[in-house]
Structure 1
Amino acid sequence: MYNLNGNVALITGVSHEKGIGAAICHKLASNGADIFFSHWGSDSNWVKEFEGRIREYGVRCGSLEIDLADPGTPVNILEAVTAEMGLPAILVNNAAHSFRDGYMNLDAKTLDDHYAVNMRATFLLSVEFARRFRQTPIPAGRIINLTSGQALGPMPGELAYAATKGAISAFTLSLSVELAPLGITVNAVNPGPTDTGWMNEVIKKEILPKFPFGRIGMPEDAARLVAFLASEEAEWITGQVLNSEGGFLRG
C-alpha cells in the first residue's frame, strides 16, 4: 500500500470496466487518492456505477466525457478537475487511439487521428498540468504515460499507432529534465500485451506460450506499477520507460 491520501489523480481514457484505465482508478483509490477520470463514448450508466465503486474506497470521484482529439481538451479537463477537486498532483495519460493500417492503407486521416489523441493530447495535457502545478504549494507531482513497447520490436499493420505511441517515449525523457526542478517526475509504462477484453481465444492461445509466467498480462499488473510511480517511494525515478511485460518473449 502506498499512501496517496490527499492527492488528486487525473486518469484519461477510462472507458470500460476491463480496461487498464479502470484498473488504475481502482488501485490509486485503494491507496487513498481522489479520482477524476475522462471517458469518451462510454455508457452513462456504467460511468455512474463505476464512480460509485470508486467512492467505496472512501475517496472522492468525478468524471468528464470529453473528446481528447479536440485541441482545447487539455485546458478544459484541467479546469473541470480543479473546479471539482482541486489541482491534481498525479496525471496518468492512459487514453489511446488505435486503428490497424499497414502501408497499403496508411493515409493522412489515419495519421492525424492517431496523432491527435496519442501525441497531441498527451503532450499538451502534460505541459498544461506542469504550468498549473508550478503555481501551487503541492510539493511533488507525477506524470505517468502509457506506451506500448514500440522500441522492443516491430508492430506490422499498426504503423500510425506505433509511430505516435513511440513518440511518447522520447517526449517522456525530454520533459522529465525540464520538470525535475518543479518536483515533478515523468515516466512511461509499457504494460505489454494485456487482456482488456480485446483478445479472442485464438489470440490468447497464440501468445500465451510467450509469457514465461504461464499467464497473460492483466490490467491490474500495469495498475500496480502506476501506483508505485505515483508514490513518494518513486521520487528518484524519472525519465524512464518501464517495460512491465512479465518477460514477454518476442520473435
Structure 2
Amino acid sequence: MNRIAVVTGASRLKGIGAAVCRELAKAGHPVFFTYWSPYDEEMPWGSVASEPQVLKEELEGFGVPVGLMELDLTSMEAADLLFRKVREQLGQPSILINNAAYSTKDDYSTITPEDLDKHYFVNIRATTLLSSRFAQQFTIGRAGRIVNLTSGQFQRPMPGELSYATTKGAIDAMTITLAAEVGKLGITVNAINPGPTDTGWMTEEIKSGLSEMFPSGRVGLPIDVARTIKFLVSEEAEWVTGQIIHSEGGFRR
C-alpha cells in the first residue's frame, strides 16, 4: 500500500528532509514536502532558490506523484493550509514527518522573548498542531504514522542553545502523550534523534573532531536517519509507538 507522506522542512538538497523524501519516494510513497526559504537565507548555509524544484523533479524520477509548498510554519493557519493543499493535490496523507526546525544560538545571558517565540512557534507549536490536525483528519483506520525529529536534549546538555534545547525537548513529551491518544485511530507516533548529522553545516574541522566520537569513525549522514524513518513509517513498524529513538551511530559524548 503506497501511502501519501508529508515531510516538512525539505528546502535543501543536503538536508535531512530531502533525504527522507528520497527514501520514501523510492519506497513508492507519494510525497508532499514543505520548505521556507527566508529561514535558510538567515542561516550560514544560505538558500538556493532552485533546490525545492530540483528535489521535486528528482522525486518524480522515482515514479511517484510529488507536491510541494512554501509554508511559514509560524503562521497560525499553517496546519490547515498544508493539509488542504495535500488533499487537493495528492489525497489524504497517512504519514507525517515533522522535520522542520528553527535553531539559533543563545544562552541565559542573551535569550530574548522574540527569539524564544520563534523557536517555540516552529519547533513545538507547529509540530503539535500539524500532528493534531493530521490525526483529526485521519480516517483510514490503520497504518497512520507520525515521526518527529528531536535532538537528544535529554541525552546531554546543550550550552549555547537554550531556546532550541527547551523547545525541541518538549517534542519528546508531546510524542509520548500523543501516541497514547491516537493509537486507537490506527496511528503510531515516534520521535527520532539522529545525533550529529552533516547536512552541509559542518566544517572539515568539526567533522574531524566529531568523527572520533563515533565507533565507525564518521559523522552521521542524512541518509542514516532517513533509512530509520523509512522503517518507522512502514507497516512492519506498527508495534513501535511512543518511543524516542536515539539513532546516533554509537555517538560517544
Fold match (TM-score > 0.5): yes
Indicate yes or no: 2:111 matched with 1:106.
yes
Q: Among 5, 8, 13, which residue is 1:9 paired with?
A: 5
Contact 1:89 1:138 in 2 (8 A): no
Contact 2:10 2:52 in 1 (8 A): no
Q: Among 57, 60, 69, which residue is 2:62 paired with?
A: 57
- The residue number in structure 2 matching 1:91 is 96
Q: Among 45, 48, 64, which residue is 2:50 paired with?
A: 45
Indicate yes or no: 2:199 matched with 1:196.
yes
Contact 2:148 2:171 in 1 (8 A): yes
**What is the Cα deviation at residue 43 of structure 1?**
4.0
Which amino acid in the other structure matches residue 7 of structure 1?
R
- The residue number in structure 2 matching 1:230 is 233
- The residue number in structure 1 matching 2:74 is 69
Which amino acid in the other structure matches residue 200 of structure 1?
T
Structure 1 residues 145-154 or 196-205, which shifts more? 196-205
SS at match of 2:5: strand
Which amino acid in the other structure matches residue 87 of structure 1?
Q
SS at match of 1:151: coil
Indicate yes or no: 2:241 matched with 1:245.
no
Contact 1:210 1:248 in 2 (8 A): yes
Mapping of 1:53-202 within 5 angstroms?
A: 53-133=58-138, 136-202=139-205
Indicate yes or no: 2:22 matched with 1:26.
yes
**What is the Cα deviation at residue 45 of structure 1?**
2.4
Q: Deviations over 1:41-67 (max 9, x none)?
A: 154422222111101111011100010
Q: TM-score, normalised by structure 2?
A: 0.95
Q: Distance in 1 between matches of 2:19 and 2:142?
A: 26
Task: Give RMSD over aligned pairs.
Answer: 0.9
Q: Distance in 1 between matches of 2:142 and 2:108?
A: 47
Gaps of 5+ in 2: 38-46
Contact 1:74 1:124 in 2 (8 A): yes
Contact 2:149 2:192 in 1 (8 A): yes
The 4+ residue runs of structure 1 with deviation greater than 3 A are: none
Q: Distance in 2 between matches of 1:97 and 1:123?
A: 15
Q: Deviations over 1:96-135 (max 9, x none)?
A: 00000011111111110100000000000000000000xx
Q: TM-score, normalised by structure 1?
A: 0.95
When the two structures are aligned, how many residues end up with a matched partner? 244
SS at match of 2:50: helix
Give percent identity, aligned residues only: 51
